[in-house]
């Protein structure tokens, strides 16, 4: 699967904005580790020009794309074939083209969070009671891989309970019990609490009781930064000792994309540590 030395296979991340993306750094490290001969760039697509940009990339010999905001729904529509988790999520963050010219779509965000929690952080998901905060795209992308990890129950909580109920309904054929609630209706102890809302981007908090965070076994925020997110900082004040942000999820979802493209799964620990060190040095 390795290209000749003179012609690396071309990949890129496409979004708007895109200058902040760490994907080129991450995939360069993956390529160096695995010996895969690839080139990886950033592409700034016009807000109304994702489909044309993606098709031009593939027509020009590009092999695969990572897709970030705000184009994941358009990537879903562009794909000719979808993985099960992408079909369930209704959004795509990974595209690739096969020899017959078919464009495949995957959503690797959910498996990224599962691998970070279970493999990197040692959090037991099998048999656990999990609280998933939010019912938007991030929660939808995470739900099916979380169900596959075998928790006893997943409670989806959202400001508007009907939206949480709709998402819960989509996963109720699974062995895991999946229920829905409004933020005010949450009760009991959770082994794992996952913030899939965007509140941390604004330094805000989802409106849940402090006792839920105090009693939680582990609290995870999909967002990340140089300092603890507002959600994690508040959970620490509430008394929860098990805390992690979404940096590991970022790297793990990239590793799954790399596997989709190359058939090789890179290791992630050194990449997570390197980015964490860079953030700390700022």
Mean pLDDT of 71-89: 96
Q: How many CA atoms lie within 13 A of 159 on its CB side?
A: 8
Annotated binding site: 21-23, 68, 84, 93, 109, 134-138, 158-163, 222, 224, 246, 253
pLDDT for 247? 97
Residue numbers belonging to the annotated binding site for shikimate: 21-23, 68, 93, 109, 224, 253
**pLDDT-derived band of residue 1, with 50, 70 and 90 as boundaries?**
very low
Q: What is the mean pLDDT of residues 194-211?
A: 95
Per-residue confidence (pLDDT) for residue 4, from 0 to 100: 47
Question: Is residue 143 within 8 Å of 132, Cβ to Cβ?
Answer: yes
pLDDT of residue 21: 94
Q: Is the pLDDT of residue 173 over 80?
A: no
Q: β-strand 9-15 against 38-44: which pairing, if any?
A: parallel
Cα separations in angstroms, 80 against 42, 50, 70, 123, 131? 23, 16, 20, 36, 34
Residue numbers annotated as active site = 72
Neighbours of 136 (CB within 10 A): 13
Average pLDDT over residues 91-103: 97
Average pLDDT over residues 199-214: 95
| pLDDT given for residue 233 in this prediction | 98
Q: Does a cis peptide bond (omega within 30 degrees of 0) precede residue 249? A: no
Task: Please report, for residues 15, 56, 95, 98, 170, the alpha-carbon distance to residue 43 in angstroms, rounded to integers and kept in the order given.
Answer: 7, 12, 14, 21, 34
């Amino acid at each position: 699967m390795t290209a000749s030395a003179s012609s690396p296979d071309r990949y890129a991340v496409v979004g708007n904005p895109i200058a902040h993306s760490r994907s080129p750094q991450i995939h360069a490290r993956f390529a160096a580790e695995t010996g895969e001969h690839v080139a990886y760039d950033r592409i700034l697509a016009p807000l109304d020009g994702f489909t044309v940009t993606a098709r031009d990339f593939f027509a020009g010999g590009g092999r695969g794309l990572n897709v970030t905001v705000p184009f994941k729904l358009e990537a879903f529509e562009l794909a000719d074939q979808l993985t099960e988790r992408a079909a369930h999520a209704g959004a795509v963050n990974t595209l690739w083209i096969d020899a017959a010219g078919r464009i495949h779509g995957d959503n690797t965000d959910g498996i990224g969070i599962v691998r970070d929690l279970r493999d990197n952080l040692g959090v037991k998901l099998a048999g656990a009671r999990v609280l998933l905060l939010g019912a938007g795209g991030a929660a939808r992308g995470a739900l099916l891989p979380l169900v596959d990890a075998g928790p006893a129950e997943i409670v989806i909580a959202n400001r508007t309970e009907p939206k949480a109920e709709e998402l819960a309904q989509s996963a109720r054929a699974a062995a895991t019990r999946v229920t829905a609630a409004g933020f005010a209706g949450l009760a009991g102890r959770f082994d794992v609490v996952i913030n899939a809302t965007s509140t941390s981007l604004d330094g805000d908090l989802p409106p849940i009781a402090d006792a839920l965070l105090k009693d939680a076994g582990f609290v995870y925020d999909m967002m990340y930064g140089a300092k603890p997110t507002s959600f994690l900082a508040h959970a620490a004040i509430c008394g929860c000792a098990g805390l992690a942000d979404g940096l590991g999820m970022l790297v793990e979802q990239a590793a799954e994309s790399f596997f989709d493209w190359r058939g090789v799964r890179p290791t992630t620990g050194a990449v997570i540590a390197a980015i964490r060190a860079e953030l700390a040095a700022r």
